[in-house]
Amino acid sequence: MKVKIVTDKMIKLKTPYLLFLGDTEQEGLAKTAFGLLQWCPDNCKGQLRLVGCKVDLGLKDMTPREAREKHNIGTLVIGVANLGGFLPDNWIATLCEALEAGLDIAAGLHVRLNDIEVLRETARKYGCTLHDVRQTTQALKVGNGKKRSGKRLLTVAADCAIGKKYAALALAKEMQSREMKADFRATGQTGILIAGGGISVDAVVADFISGAAEMISPANTQDHWDIIEGQGALFHPAYAGVALGLLHGSQPDALVICHDPDRTHTAFMGGFPLPDIKVVMKRNIEAAQLTNSAVKVVGVAVNTSKFTDDEAMTYMTSLSVQLNLPVCDPVRSGMAAIVDHMMENM
């Protein structure tokens, strides 16, 4: 699946990509790699895994030299985002090997590749580039909350790593297929790698998060929609702040709630039970009303990947009746029903 992207600032990465998975054991931590494979599959030609890695993208395993010399791969993309966004020491030798083979490296970690001396010097020696896509070079401003023209939709949820990016991309794709004026706006490292631009808001100083959201979804024509990728969640003890900043700065006219029916507690952090989906809707509406009193929930995007087709249809139908809203799976069913409902009610 491909989606047309319009961004104000493009990152120039050499394609195709070798997706680096390190020694990651949980698929949820490899959402960058899975997101790239889902939305720009033509650019994903291979994977590189270390001993102990339990994640498999289904791509050909390659060494950096094989990737460069036999498949003309241009960039190694670090496809995992561990808790804290750090770079494990045992990855460094392999990343240096990639630079020695002539590959650029792109990462969306909190730590800067360019701040690691051995990587910086190896890249300089072999004429390669280190791309820190999480760190914006744009001058940010504090949000002002003033109403601006155009329409905006924000994806939100009860937890992180639950499908907000997939839902936003699928919504933009559906709207563009109808020749509607709609753009995907990336707010995280994977979205930026897919789109070629954006601002990773979880790397923005707290005072400027709402301002960053205003920057990536500026004033536009009245019939134009910005589909803004959500981050974090109001109910997550670590990532509530970024979610609130996006709700205020995006000034969303519409919200789509992203939901995983199998998840009962916050991801990667046990002991915090997730609220009922109606509570998720209510709290996000209340927070968003600070800058847009007319905000509405227009649908629910669910992850039914663990269900059979029949189970998924039964679940989505039941939840739709319960909430009186369209319920879609961005991957299994597409988002047409949510776009239909939005256009009828906005």
Q: Confidence class of residue 7 from pLDDT cuts 50, 70 and 90?
A: very low
Residues 6+ apart with CB under 8 A from 146: none
Instruction: Note the pLDDT of residue 307.
Output: 95
Rounded to the nearest integer, the mean pLDDT of the chain is 91
Whole-number percent of the chain with pLDDT over 70? 95
267: pLDDT confidence band, cut at 50, 70 and 90?
confident
Domain residue ranges in the chain: 17-132, 151-345
C-alpha span between 213 and 252 (Å, rounded): 10
Write the CA distances from 319 to 55, 187, 236, 249, integer angstroms. Answer: 31, 28, 23, 30
What SS3 state is found at 59? coil
Contact 166, 330 (CB under 8 A): yes
Which residues are CB-neighbours of 313 under 8 A, at least 6 positions away? Answer: none
Confidence of residue 4 (pLDDT cuts 50, 70, 90): very low
Per-residue confidence at 113, pLDDT binned at 50, 70, 90? very high
Output the pLDDT for position 140.
87
Angle subtended by helix axes 64-71 and 92-100, to nearest 10:
30
151-345 matches 17-132 in CATH topology: yes
Q: State the pLDDT confidence band at 268, using cuts at 50, 70 and 90.
A: confident
For residue 173, what are the contacts with CB-CB under 8 A and spacing of at least 6?
A: 1, 2, 3, 335
For the segment(s) 151-345, the CATH number from 3.40.50.300, 3.30.450.20, 2.30.30.230, 3.30.420.40 is 3.40.50.300
Per-residue pLDDT averaged across 307-322, rounded? Answer: 96
Q: With b meaning 16 or more CB within 10 Å and e meaning fewer, what string describes 32-41? A: bbbbbbbbbe
Which pLDDT does position 228 carry in this prediction? 98
Q: What CATH number should be reported for the domain whose range is 17-132?
A: 3.40.50.720
Grade residue 9 by pLDDT with cuts at 50, 70 and 90: very low
Residue 6 has pLDDT above 50, yes or no: no
Q: Is 3 a residue whose pLDDT tops 50? A: no
Could you report the per-residue pLDDT of 97-106, keeping only the tens digit for each?
999 999 999 9
- With a cut of 70, say whether residue 243 has pLDDT above it: yes
